[in-house]
Structure 1
Amino acid sequence: MTIDELSDYGMDRMADDEISGFLSSQSVGVLGLPTENVPVMRPLFFWYDGESQIYFLYVIGPESQKEDLSDRADAARFLVYNVDTPFMWTSVLLTGPISDVPESEREQVQDAMEMQWRPDLFERAGTSETTKLYQLQIEDQVGIAHRGLPPAFDTDSSETQSE
C-alpha cells in the first residue's frame, strides 16, 4: 500500500514545513550507507541547519568503517523517527549525497550547531580524539505521521464484545 492509501488508517504524508519542524526538534537518527551486499546502518546524533543539510560528528578510529563508507558513497539515507504510542508516531526519510565538511568550513558549522543532547563522549572526544564532520545534502525527503486512532477504529465493538 502507498502512503496515500494508508490515510484511511490514520497515516498522512507530511508537508515540507512539518518535516522541517520535526527535524529541528530531533537529534538522533539512523544513517544508512551503501555497501556491496547490505547497507551498513549506524545510529547517530545530528544537527539540522533548518534548510537542506544534516550534519554528523564522527569519532574516527584507526580503521573507521563509517568514515570509509561515507567517503566512498555517492548517496546515503538517514531515518529520523519518534514513537509516542502505536497510534502516535512520525517518520522522516532523507536521501542525498554525503561528504566531509572541508576544514575551512568546519569551525563555522560547529559554532552554529546546537545539539539538543549528545553524550559526554562527544564533548571529550572533540578535544582528545580524531573527529570528522560530515554533511548530508537533502535532495529527497519523505515524511509520514500517524496522529491518533485510525478513523475506522471502532471502540464500541470491543465494549459490546465484553458484555
Structure 2
Amino acid sequence: MVNDLLEESNTASMSEQQMRTLLEEEGIGILALPTEGVPYVVPMSFGYDGESMLYFVYLLFGTESRKESLSDDVERGRFLVYRAESVYDWQSVSLTGRIAAVPDDEWDTLRDAMQNAWHPNIFASANPMRGVRGYRFRIESWTGIQQRDGA
C-alpha cells in the first residue's frame, strides 16, 4: 500500500550514488540517539568520507553535554539528511550506524571529511568552551527517497 502511494506521488527510491551525492553536498543533518524515554534529537554539522563514515565535531560548553554522554554510552544511532528545494523537488536519506569517539590517529581523516560541514557562527562567540571531541558514525544501512521536478 505504501509503495502504491509512493508511485502515485511521483516519489522514488534514491540510488546509492544519489545518496552519496546528497551526503557530499549537504553539511548538516539530524542526529537521533536512543534514550530510555524519547530519542535525543539534535541538528549536527557533519563530514562524509565518500564511503561509509560520517564525522561530527562536538564543541563542548559547560560541565556536561547530553550529546557527549549519550554518544559515549550508546552504540547505535540514526542520522537524517535532507534537502527540500520545493514541495515537488526534495531528497531525504536516513542512515543507521554505530557511533564512537574518533581515535587520536584518525583526526586527519576527520578534518578532511569535515570540509563540507556547515558550521553556525553561534559557537564562535559562546563561552566558556570546555573542549572539542570528534565522533564517527559508521554507516550500517541507508535508505533514500526523493521527488524531483520533472521526475
TM range (shorter): 0.7 to 0.9
Contact in 2 for aligned 1:93/1:143 (Cα 8 Å): yes
Contact 1:4 1:13 in 2 (8 A): no
Letter aligned with residue 75 of structure 1: R
- Name stretches of at least 5 consecutive residues in structure 1 with no aligned partner: 151-163
Instruction: Judge which range, 141-150 or 31-40, deviates more.
Output: 141-150
Deviations 1:28-50 (A, max 9, x none): 10000000011000001001110
Question: How much does 1:118 deviate?
Answer: 1.7
Q: Does 1:55 align with 2:55?
A: yes
TM normalised by structure 2 equals: 0.88
Specify the alignment match of 1:94 in structure 2: 95
SS at match of 1:97: strand
The aligned runs of 1:1-163 (5 Å cut-off) are 1-3=1-3, 5-61=5-61, 62-121=63-122, 129-148=130-149
* Identity %, equivalent residues: 39
The worse-fitting range, judged by mean Cα deviation, of 48-57 and 115-124 is 115-124
* Structure 1 runs (4+) greater than 4 angstroms displaced: 121-125
In the TM superposition, what is the alpha-carbon distance from 1:119 to its structure 2 partner? 2.6
Normalising by structure 1, what TM-score?
Answer: 0.82
| Higher strand fraction (1 or 2) | 2
Change (3 A) 1:17 1:108: closer
C-alpha displacement of 1:149: 6.8
Q: CA RMSD in A?
A: 2.2
d(CA) in 2 for partners of 1:84, 1:3: 23
| Closer, same or farther: CA 115–123 of 1 in aligned 2, 3 Å | farther
C-alpha contact 2:45 2:117 (8 A) present in aligned 1? no
Which of 1 and 2 has greater Rg?
Answer: 1
* Alpha-carbon contact 2:89-2:149 (below 8 Å) kept: yes
